[in-house]
Every structure is written in C-alpha cells, then in structure tokens.
C-alpha cells in the first residue's frame, strides 16, 4: 500500500509511480497528503469504536438533570449559604456536576433550582428520595426529572385511557372453612420431595384433598390466614388457592429460596441469593416486595449492612408498614407506596435488632453498651416516633426480644456478665447470669418486672393465649423447666419441673397445654403438660429421632415427624391429641414436611367465646356422639370397596337370573314338563340321586 494513502482504502499508487515520485523529489520533504481524487469510505465507527461509545447523546444532559421546586426565596446576601445547604443535601445521592439557582431582576431566588448529576441512576435516586422532603415547616421539596416535563407536555390530544384488565375470579379462597365437621387441612411432602399432598385430618384415616407430582421443587409455605399455598420453583414462586387449588398468581424471581407474607396477605416478600441488577440504577436486588392481587413488583432491596436473618423485612401487625435494619438506623416504609416513612430513617446508633408488636404499630429495639453508655431497650410508636419506654441495662452480653402473641407483654431475655474486674488493663468476667425484663406494654407508663435466673437458659416461650411463660434452664443431666404467671401486681413462679429431657417448648395455640420436647439428639422424648394445675397428663412418650413438632391451628391435635431432610431413617409422622394420646402412625417413604393450614381469627366476640366455654358440657355431648360414630365407621376406602363388591355381585346375579329364565323351557322339556324350580326337595315328585366319580388313585409303597 502506498505511503501517501494513510493506510486507507480508495485511490492507490502503483510501485512505479512511487519510485518515480521518489526520484523526482528526493531533495524535498515527503508529502503525506491525499490526492485530490482520493475517496475516504471508512466510517468513524470502524476507526474509533471505543471512543464513540462514550459519545454523549442529545438527551443525556437532560435525563440526569433534576428540578427542585419550593426552595426558600432569599436575596443575594444569603444565596451562598443556601447553595451550600442544598448541595450538602443533594450530594448524598451522587456527584453533582453543575447546579443553577435562577434569580429574578432584583437578585432574589425564584424558588426552584436545577441540578445535574453524573448519571441517570443518581438523578433518579435523588428525585425519589427527596421528593416531599421537608426542609422546614414552610418549604417542602417537589423534585422531578427534567425529562419528565417534556413527557407530560407532549401528551396526545386524542389520548385514550387503557382498557381495564378483565377480572379473574380466583374462587372461594376460604372454601376449606365450610367443612361441616370443622376438620383441618395439612400439606405433606413425601417421596423425597417428588409428591405434595393436601390432606384432611379425618378419622380413622386421612383423606386426600389434592395430590400432585412435582408440585414444588423444594418446600411449600401457607399464607398467615391460610388463603394461599406457596410453591417454590427455579424461576420463581406460585400461589395456589380455592377449592381445587388453582394457580392464583406467580412471581418471577430466579433462584428464590425464602418467602414471607404480610399479616394481611396483601403482599409477599421473596429472597434469592442471586441478586438481579436493575437496568436503571444498577443496584443488585436480592429481596423483592410484591403485590399479591396484581402480581406487580412494589420495590426491591439489596442485602447489605447488618442483618438478623430472615425475615429481612419485618411487618407491622396490620400490614401498613414494614421495616428493615440498617447501619445505625431502622428504616420504616409505608404501604402501598413502599416509600420511606416521613422520608427519613429512625436514627439509632449501633442498633442490633428490633421486633414489631403483634397487635400494635410499636417497634421494640435494643442497643449494646458503648464506652460511656449502658445498653438500652426502647419502645417506639409508629408513625409518631414517640418513645413509650426506655430501659437501661448494664453488663450486657446479648439480648433477645420475645413478644407475647396478644401484644400485652414483651420479654427481653438479657445475657449478663456476673462480675467484671480489671486485670492487666483488660476487663475480665467471672461468669454469666440471665434476666427476663417483662414490659407490661398496655399498662400506664409501661411498668417493668424482672425475673432472674442463675443457670444457662436454652429456650423461652410465651403462652399464646393467657399470661404464662416458660423457659428451659440448666445443663444435662439437670435440665429443668420453670413456669411463671403474670398477675395484676407481681410475677409468680408456678412450678419448676426438674430433671427433664427437653430442648424445645411448644405451646398449644389455644393456650394452657404445652409440650416439652427433646428433639433430635434427645431421641424425641415428649411430655404433655397441663399448665392450669401443672400436671403431666401422660407418662413421657417417645417418637424416636423426632425432628418437628406442629400444633394444628385449633389446638386439638399435634403432629410429630421425622423428616427426610433431617434424618434418613424411620421417616413419617404421628398424630396425637392435646392430652398426649396417640391417634395414628403414618410412616411414609421419603417424608419431608408437614404443615397445618392456618385459620383466620374467629369472627366471634370475646363475650360469645366466653359464653360457649361456659356451656361446653352441653355442646360436648353432641361432639361425643359424632366421635363415637366416626370410630365405629370403617375407613372410606373399605366402605367404597365393599360397596363396589356388592354392586358387582348384584349385576352378576341379575345377568345369571336372566339366563336361567331363558333356559327354563329347555329344562322343563328335559324333565317331562316338571317345573323343578317350584318343587320342594322333600316332596315325592322329586328324587335325589347321588353320582360318584373316581378322581384319582394314589399308591404308597411301604418299605420293609
């Protein structure tokens, strides 16, 4: 290729032309310019592809610009101070390239400003977070992207509203509550996870309501009120409901592993360890909030900063708020907007954990000790952020927050150092002891009582309905369980059951009854205790290698199970009544999970429930008769089999009778017109003849 063409296509010189040119102009400088007839046919995209990728588009300068209205109107003497304040506030969301605050003819600000960020994602985040921000009581920001102005000013004159989506009837989501005998349902996964069944707790055998192969890929989960059954799949989750478990909704979230429902069943939260980056912000989201009714995504969150396990987002009792733990803050979001409450988080330095009250919009949280500050437990009312109670604690190693289901009491289990002393400029402790700080939340000024325990506490549980709590303390072989009752004036120790083999407590949902369970390495020892008089109702039972204990929602029955996921042998589940009497054993190959279907709260008032309990003896007679009938009945499968056999016999009998009737004339002809069908075997006209046939001869040789 000729030197003068610059390595480009187009006009080329021959080798002879090049030599001649070199000889004629050897005394002059080389000429690298293109000839007049040269045609350049190479595009800039071929020459500079990497550089042209960074070429700004005409709209880039507008898309990363935001407009903030309702800023203070001030004169030129305060302009510099106002600019610094606004830049400090808006720079939290990204790099500000330029800012401009327009002035009127008198030098006063016009009440709005323009800011350009380095990227579109930064501009969107600033507009979302600061829209509605209250600078002071007279100035509330109205922040929008500059590109949105053009979007709404160019709306077509003949705009037509979108057609509404046709309503899809999900069916009766509470159909299982119409069972006349008030039998509960349960979901069962077996065959190593291949088969999922929904069964009815009928007697004497369970009845299958629905059964499907590969209904879920991992496990299932019921919604809090029992309306939906959630199944897990590699591409997301699906919700099923109605009488025949039709698919109600599905949500696409690849690799989803965990879900959590809002208490009102309006929203669902999903978690996947494979975060998905948003195209607009580039933020990797692992946790997503969905609207169950519409199937739309409400908001996503990255898993960063401090976490206390699942659920990552914790819901208020009414489902109007959810909150998450962040570094030195608790962020509370309101529904349905999923926006930050009052546009700011609840600032709590070094906060470790928090929990919502089960029946009020109250948050409890705890903060560990600092260099000059004690540990602290606080109760905060939402949305007012009013502090209801603060409890300072000293020598604290750890805290656990336990709310009673009714929300009347909060127990803070405090692990404390017994004594501390300074040795070689180091603080050393000589042991541990444990406190239970009981907050009486619904009493005036929230009084607090303290229960102290000198032994290691391994489990704590509130009575769901009532005012008692129990905890396991001590070390093997001296493990004990203590029961306390909260009275009007003080907390009373009811009884301590000593030398027990248990590591878990399971209260009946209706209260009063509790199971002391020794799961897994304690060989599945079960004790059924009536806490009203502290009596053990039966001798200790045993379900060897039991891994799970589940009460049904009414508190009448309880299941114990050996899951294939926890133990590979003797898989299956046993059913018991609340008194500890075994009802049935149900071994299953590859049994994995049993979950009772929850029930919504009763529609009866407290007065009506009290009246029913008062007259329980009258109702129990009817129930006892029904129980006896159910016990006397054979199983449904046996009854169906007997009925089928009887029906088949009747069909066969009718067919044979028809043949006999057709052959009657032939029989009478062979028997001299005697109707033998009508003759009595004892009359003289009927002679009975016995004919014998030789069937076979057996010879046996008897030896000497």
> Would you list the domain boundaries of the chain?
60-153, 455-601
Starting at the edge strand found earlier in the chain, the sheet holding 297-301 runs 258-261, 267-277, 284-291, 297-301
Tokens of 662: 């057709």
Place 420 in a pLDDT band, splitting at 50, 70 and 90: low
The more confidently predicted of residues 681 and 395 is 395
Using one digit for the tens of pLDDT, what is the confidence trace for 583-640? 999 999 999 999 999 999 988 888 898 888 888 888 888 777 777 776 666 566 677 7
What is the number of residues in the chain?
A: 704
Give the span between the Cα atoms of 214 and 212, in whole angstroms: 6
Q: What is the mean pLDDT of the chain?
A: 86
Q: What dihedral angle (degrees, nearest 10) is formed by the CA atoms of 340, 342, 346, 347?
A: 110
Is the distance from CB of 222 to CB of 593 less than 8 angstroms? no
Place of tokens 């509550």: 177
Is the distance from CB of 195 to CB of 568 less than 8 angstroms? no
Q: In CATH, what class is 455-601?
A: mainly beta
- Please tell me whether the overall predicted TM-score, pTM, comes out greater than 0.85 for this model: no
For residue 376, how many C-alpha atoms fall within 13 Å in the half-sphere facing its CB?
15
What percent of the chain shows pLDDT beyond 90? Answer: 52
* pLDDT over threshold 60, residue 20: no
CB atoms within 10 A of CB 292: 20
* pLDDT over threshold 90, residue 49: no
Please tell me the predicted confidence (pLDDT) of residue 635. 60
Cα dihedral across residues 235, 239, 240, 246: positive or negative? negative
* pLDDT over threshold 50, residue 16: no
Using one digit for the tens of pLDDT, what is the confidence trace for 340-397? 898 889 999 999 999 999 999 999 999 999 878 899 999 999 999 999 999 999 889 9
Please tell me the predicted confidence (pLDDT) of residue 669. 84
Measured at the CA of 445, the angle between CA 442 and CA 447, to 5 degrees, comes to 75
Using one digit for the tens of pLDDT, what is the confidence trace for 259-315? 999 999 999 999 998 887 765 556 778 999 999 998 999 999 988 766 678 999 999
Tokens of 627: 């129980």
Give the span between the Cα atoms of 212 and 194, in whole angstroms: 9
Q: Give CATH for domain 60-153.
A: 3.30.70.330
For residue 517, how many C-alpha atoms fall within 13 Å in the half-sphere facing its CB?
26
Is the distance from CB of 555 to CB of 599 less than 8 angstroms? no
* pLDDT over threshold 50, residue 251: yes
Burial class of 296 by CB neighbour count within 10 A (0 to 12, 13 to 18, 19+): exposed
Place of tokens 């009063």: 512
Q: What per-residue string of b and e applies to 70-84 under the rule 16 or more CB within 10 Å gives b?
A: ebeeeeeeeeeebee
581-588: long-range pairs with CB below 8 Å, 24+: 581/538, 582/541, 583/203, 583/557, 584/204, 584/205, 586/206, 588/188, 588/190
Measured at the CA of 119, the angle between CA 114 and CA 121, to 5 degrees, comes to 100
Using one digit for the tens of pLDDT, what is the confidence trace for 451-480? 999 999 999 999 998 899 999 999 888 999
Q: Within its chain, how far is the Cα of 103 from the centroid?
A: 53
């Amino acid at each position: 290729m000729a030197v003068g063409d610059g390595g480009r296509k187009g006009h080329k010189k021959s080798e002879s032309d090049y030599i001649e040119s070199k000889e004629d102009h050897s005394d002059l400088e080389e000429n690298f310019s293109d000839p007049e007839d040269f045609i350049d046919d190479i595009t800039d995209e071929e020459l500079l592809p990497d550089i042209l990728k960074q070429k700004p588009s005409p709209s880039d300068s507008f898309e990363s610009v935001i407009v903030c209205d309702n800023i203070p109107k001030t004169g030129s003497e305060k302009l510099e101070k106002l600019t610094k304040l606004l830049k400090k506030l808006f720079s939290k969301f990204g790099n500000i390239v330029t800012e401009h605050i327009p002035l009127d003819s008198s030098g006063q600000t016009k009440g709005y400003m323009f800011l350009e960020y380095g990227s579109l994602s930064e501009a969107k985040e600033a507009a979302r977070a600061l829209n509605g921000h209250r600078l002071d009581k007279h100035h509330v920001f109205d922040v929008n992207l500059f590109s949105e102005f053009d979007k709404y000013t160019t709306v077509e004159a003949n705009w037509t509203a979108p057609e509404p989506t046709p309503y899809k009837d999900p069916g009766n989501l509470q159909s299982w509550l119409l069972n006349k005998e008030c039998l509960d349902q349960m979901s069962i996964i077996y065959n190593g996870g291949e088969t999922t069944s929904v069964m009815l707790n009928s007697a004497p055998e369970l009845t299958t309501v629905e059964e499907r192969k590969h209904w879920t890929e991992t496990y299932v989960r019921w919604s809090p009120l029992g309306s939906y059954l959630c199944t897990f799949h590699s591409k997301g989750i699906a919700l099923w409901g109605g009488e025949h478990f039709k698919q109600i909704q599905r949500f696409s979230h690849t690799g989803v592993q965990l879900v959590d429902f809002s208490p009102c069943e309006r929203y669902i939260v999903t978690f996947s360890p494979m975060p998905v980056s948003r195209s607009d912000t580039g933020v990797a989201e692992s946790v997503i909030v969905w609207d169950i009714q519409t199937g739309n995504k409400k908001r996503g969150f990255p898993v960063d900063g401090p976490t206390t396990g699942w659920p990552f987002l914790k819901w208020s009792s009414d489902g109007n708020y959810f909150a998450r733990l962040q570094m030195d803050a608790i962020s509370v979001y309101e529904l349905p907007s999923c926006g930050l409450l009052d546009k700011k988080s609840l600032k709590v330095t070094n906060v470790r954990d928090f929990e919502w009250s089960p029946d009020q919009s109250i948050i409890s949280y705890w903060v560990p000790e600092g260099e000059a500050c004690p540990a602290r437990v606080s109760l905060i009312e939402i949305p007012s952020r009013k502090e209801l109670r603060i409890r300072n604690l000293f020598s604290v190693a750890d805290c656990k927050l336990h709310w009673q289901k009714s929300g009347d009491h909060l127990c803070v289990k405090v692990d404390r150092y017994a004594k501390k002393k300074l040795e070689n400029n180091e603080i050393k402790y000589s042991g541990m002891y444990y406190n239970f700080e009981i907050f009486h939340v619904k009493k005036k000024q929230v009084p607090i009582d303290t229960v102290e325990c000198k032994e290691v506490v391994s489990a704590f549980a509130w009575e769901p309905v009532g005012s008692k709590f129990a905890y396991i303390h001590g070390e093997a072989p001296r493990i004990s369980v203590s029961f306390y009752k909260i009275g009007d004036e003080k907390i009373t120790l009811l009884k301590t059951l000593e030398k027990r083999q248990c590591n878990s407590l399971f209260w009946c949902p209706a209260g009063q009854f509790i199971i002391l369970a020794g799961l897994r390495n304690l060989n599945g020892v079960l004790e059924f205790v009536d806490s009203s008089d502290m009596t053990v109702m039966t001798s200790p039972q045993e379900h060897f290698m039991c891994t799970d204990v589940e009460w049904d929602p009414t508190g009448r029955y309880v299941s114990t199970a050996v899951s294939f996921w926890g133990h590979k042998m003797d898989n299956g589940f046993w059913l018991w009544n609340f008194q500890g009497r075994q009802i049935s054993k149900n071994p299953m190959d590859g049994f994995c999970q049993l979950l009772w279907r929850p029930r919504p709260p009763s529609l009866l008032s407290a007065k009506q429930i009290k009246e029913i309990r008062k007259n329980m003896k009258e109702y129990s007679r009817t129930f006892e008769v029904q129980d006896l009938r159910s016990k006397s009945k054979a199983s449904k499968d046996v009854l169906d089999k007997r009925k089928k056999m009887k029906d088949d016999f009747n069909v066969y009998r009718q067919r044979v009778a028809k043949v006999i009737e057709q052959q009657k004339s032939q029989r009478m002809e062979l028997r001299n017109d005697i109707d033998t069908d009508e003759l009595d075997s004892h009359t003289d006209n009927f002679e009975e003849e016995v004919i014998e046939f030789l069937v076979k001869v057996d010879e046996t040789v008897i030896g000497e």
